Amino acid sequence: MRERKRAVRMSHPSWPDRLFAQWYDRLTRSMEQTTFSPIRERLMENARGDILEIGVGTGANLPFYDQKISGYRFFLDSSLPMLGKALQKGCEKSGRLVQGSASNLPFANQTFDTVVVTLVLCSVGEWESAIREIRRGLRPDGHLLLMEHVRSQNPLIASLQRVLTPLWKIPARGCHLDRPTDRMLEKYFRWVSRESFLLSQTPFVWGILIPKSGVPAP
């Protein structure tokens, strides 16, 4: 597996980061059971080959990986406390844990057959760069498996998302409610399958994307 060395300065985890990692599973348990976990299971049925999961967090996708898949697996997160939680769940038995930034991936071009991104791009600082990095890291016939919340097309809800984001992102460790992630993705990818749902009036999209032909990797 080809990796490339890139200068990424990772800060020592703050107490809010440690607290967020400690409580994350408890805070999201109900949503996971009723909504997110069934979607994760359906998405992960499409994982194949060499896999990179960006924002592994506490390891919510781990139970849904097919252990029979051959290939490398890398689990990346910028948060050491989150990686610690994933480690406690046995993540190292399924692949290699990497501390790193989604907007500055430490891998060579066209390294992966599958990139997995679930509930991550909302909290990445340089989120547009992260999308370009995903495109760069995927092979031409690769797949992006994705679930994210996005900006509402309802002007009233979108305005509310914009107003709430500065307050929400403090306890939610950088989560932005108002990012048009789906529109940015469509600059570099096209949907093979796409589904959507609402959760507390917040729109979510999920499905499979492939690199757009004729659009060179960044």
Task: Please tell me the predicted confidence (pLDDT) of residue 6.
Answer: 43
Q: Which tokens sit at 118?
A: 């679930």
Query: Is 45 contained in some domain?
Result: yes
Say whether pTM exceeds 0.75: yes
Q: Quick check: helix, strand or coil at residue 75?
A: strand
> Tens digit of pLDDT for each residue in 4-21?
544 334 456 676 777 777
The identity of residue 60, as a single letter, is: A
What is d(CA 95, CA 9) in angstroms, rounded to the nearest whole number?
Answer: 23
Query: Is 202 contained in some domain?
Result: yes
Domain count, the chain: 1
Task: Please tell me the predicted confidence (pLDDT) of residue 5.
Answer: 41
Query: Is 9 contained in some domain?
Result: no
What is d(CA 136, CA 54) in angstroms, rounded to the nearest whole number?
Answer: 14
Query: Is 97 contained in some domain?
Result: yes
CATH of the domain at 123: 3.40.50.150
Q: Which tokens sit at 26?
A: 């408890």
Query: Is 218 contained in some domain?
Result: no
**What residues make up the domain containing 96?**
15-211
Q: In sequence order, what are the beta bridge partners of 202? A: 199
What is d(CA 20, CA 15) in angstroms, rounded to the nearest whole number?
Answer: 8
Task: Please tell me the predicted confidence (pLDDT) of residue 196.
Answer: 97
Q: Identify the band that residue 1 occupies on the pLDDT scale cut at 50, 70 and 90.
A: low
Q: Identify the band that residue 174 occupies on the pLDDT scale cut at 50, 70 and 90.
A: confident
What is d(CA 198, CA 35) in angstroms, rounded to the nearest whole number?
Answer: 10
Query: Is 7 contained in some domain?
Result: no
Task: Please tell me the predicted confidence (pLDDT) of residue 10.
Answer: 45
Query: Is 21 contained in some domain?
Result: yes
Task: Please tell me the predicted confidence (pLDDT) of residue 20.
Answer: 77
> Tens digit of pLDDT for each residue in 32-67?
999 999 999 999 999 999 999 999 999 999 999 988
Percent of the chain topping pLDDT 70: 91
What is the residue-averaged pLDDT of the chain? 90
Closest CA to 138 of 50, 65, 42: 50
Query: Is 171 contained in some domain?
Result: yes
